[in-house]
Homo-oligomer: A and B are copies of this chain.
Amino acid sequence: MDFSVEELAALLGGQFVSDGEPRVRIRRAASVADAEEGDVTFLSNSRYLPALRSCQATAALVPADFREQIRTAAIRVDDPAGAFAGVLERFAPAPIRAEPGVHPSAVVVGNAALGEHVSIGPCVVIEPGAQIGARTVIHAGSYIGHEARIGADCEIGQRVTVGARCLIGDRVNLHSGVVIGSDGFGFELKEGRHVKIPQTGTVQIDNDVEVGANTTIDRARFGRTWIGAGTKIDNLVQIAHNVVLGQHCIICAQVGISGSTRLGNYVVLGGQTGVIGHIELGDGVQAGAQSGISKSHPPGTILWGSPAAPLRQMKQQMARVARLDKLVERVRHLEQDATRGNSLPGCM
């Protein structure tokens, strides 16, 4: 699919302001850093203007008040970033629709209940008693355990494991390699050996949750590990047994949350953050990347550092540490003064 610069300007309700040839074809959308001939790009922040000037793009969406002379054909629009998102959609490859039905290589054992228009890919294994909701797609090589229940309109990526009795809501997206319902990590030391504590609970994932590639969510010791509706979890995250995440949280890549910790709604944890077990983070708590959260915090707290403290306090502390050389210098001066002071004539 391609457009002329002119057509693109018309589609976006924008104004084509360049001297260039309006019938040049645009075949792709790209960022200022990547754009080449035949591409349309956009400028929403004047910080990227130098990059735009040296960019090979054929056209650029620019703000309505843009008056620079650039080599690239400029199309003035009200909201370059928003308009560009629309252009991206037009250039996006057609989405891949999974065929409804059960692939002949899939293994559906016993009495699994499959909803209407379900798509079960090659080499998928579905155990007895599992339920799959309408229009849900289960991609190649995934495993759905005994009596697991998956809602409607879900997308279960390739090579996902959903363990026995786990509950997945509607419109949930589990990316490739996710493991839901592995055993919680619980042992009791008896006569010098770690004896396994049975992990007989489940995992419950509510509607509209997304879970990133190779993330692991352990089943509860008993009861459930619970991910609230609308929460989004990135890749390679570890969620331990009996953890409760509220609704609409954002959990970035490689975060680890230890057992029985509870997060409120709209909590945001930056990448590689670790959270200790058995604590509570209130609604809207946010933590910077690599934080180490070792105690409960009330709603709205902004955290950073390891051990994590409120952001302002942590920044002050870091600034003081960075200026330690100056403090050492001041103490040295005081010591010199003191020595000189003691030897002042007439003072003793």
Contacts and interface: CB of A to CB of B under 8 A. Distances in A.
A335 B139 CA distance: 71
Interface of A: 29-31, 33-34, 85, 88-89, 91-93, 96, 103, 105, 107, 109, 121-123, 125, 139-141, 143, 145-146, 157-159, 161, 163-165, 173, 175-177, 179, 182-183, 185, 187, 192-194, 196-198, 200, 208, 210, 212-214, 216, 218, 222-224, 230, 232, 234-236, 238, 240, 242, 248, 250, 252-254, 256, 258, 262, 271-272, 274, 276, 289-290, 292, 294, 306-307, 316-318, 320-322, 324-325, 327-328, 330-331, 334-335, 337-338, 341-342, 344, 346-348
Nearest to A253: B238
Contacts of A146: 96
A176 B200 contact: no
Given A107-B103, A125-B140, A238-B235, A348 B346 contact: yes
Contacts of A230: 193-194
Q: How many copies of this chain does one complex carry?
A: 3
Contacts of A258: 252-253, 271, 289
B222 A30 contact: yes
30 contacts: A92-B222, A109-B122, A140-B143, A143-B158, A158-B161, A159-B159, A159-B161, A176-B179, A177-B179, A177-B216, A179-B213, A185-B235, A193-B248, A194-B230, A214-B216, A235-B238, A236-B236, A254-B254, A256-B271, A272-B274, A289-B292, A289-B294, A317-B322, A317-B324, A327-B327, A327-B331, A331-B331, A334-B334, A337-B342, A346-B348
A212 B259 CA distance: 14
B320 A325 contact: yes
A91 B200 CA distance: 9
Classify the secondary structure of A's interface with B.
Answer: loop
Contacts of A159: 141, 143, 159, 161
A166 B215 CA distance: 21
A222 B29 contact: yes
A232 B344 contact: no
A235 B216 contact: yes
Given A193-B248, A256-B253, A185 B274 contact: no
Contacts of A306: 290, 306
Contacts of A250: 187, 194
A210 B198 contact: no
Nearest to A272: B274
A177 B175 CA distance: 13
Contacts of A121: 125
Given A272-B292, A324-B324, 9 more contacts: A34-B223, A92-B222, A122-B125, A143-B158, A157-B161, A176-B182, A182-B212, A235-B238, A317-B324
